[in-house]
Structure 1
Amino acid sequence: MVLNTMSQTVVLGVIGSDAHVVGITILEQAFSAAGFDVINLGVQTSQEEFAESAVEHDAEAVLVSSLYGHAEQDCQGFHEVLAEADVEAVTYIGGNLAVGQDDFEQTRRTFRELGFDRVFDSETDPEDAIEALREDLQIKPTESERATISS
């Protein structure tokens, strides 16, 4: 089934005790400009708040941001919380996920094992995440979007 971005909702927030707001502000603007309905939970968001918002807004995706390096601890049990709330959304995480992150492929494996569908580093262009989400949700670009992409 091919879906249009018009009704696609993403829940976005910074997990745990992290108070970094710049990344999610950029993501909110980029995903909104790409036609997604973005619910920005802000900073210091609990796992339960992500789950409650995903249910309330019938979200297709949950985007987790973390920049302070403690995301692994903050995300322990996250997918269990989502499952208990019957959230069946695609889950992404991105940012500076581990203190002293030298080997991002190991970090990526860690978060995939925690249940995330996609894992991005802090240098990822928002357009790459948007393209990945369109692929994961099987969204075809509109004709005007294709014209923009090809120019």
Structure 2
Amino acid sequence: MNAESDERQEVAAAAAGAATGDGATGEPALGSRAPQFIKRHRSLHVSWQVGVFIVGLAVVIVGIIMLPLPGPGWVVIFGGMAIWATEFVWAQLVLRWTKRKVTEAAQRALDPRVRKRNIILTTIALVICAAAMAVYVVKFGLVMPWKIEE
């Protein structure tokens, strides 16, 4: 082989490493994180993956149930995704995308112009709510809704 084809192979290997997380990006490699003795046996590994999927699914379902109810629904859903990410590449990619988007949103929220706009909008919303409450008190008095006599 010549030097040009060796160089191409090195570039391809570096690109493959970056795609799986082995490169200089600092992200862990994609794929199963099952113990080595489980990975060695196909049936044991499939059983492990089924177990991980069922546990992750149960956690995600509990999170979905918690969305309309009191509780940290989204945190639990992402916890289930993290369980899935220990075994499945698609879940690892979803979590990486989510982390990237959350980091971008946090950076945008810390931008001084955005913070100033958010403070102004919050102040306007509070003034509107206070005005609506004042109109209600003037019109109906300060009677609690459960003590209204018919």
| TM-score, with length taken from structure 2 | 0.23
Larger Rg, first or second structure (1 or 2): 2
Which structure has the higher relative contact order (CA within 8 Å, separation 6+)?
A: 1
Q: Which has the higher helix share?
A: 2
| TM-score, with length taken from structure 1 | 0.23
Q: Which has the higher strand share?
A: 1
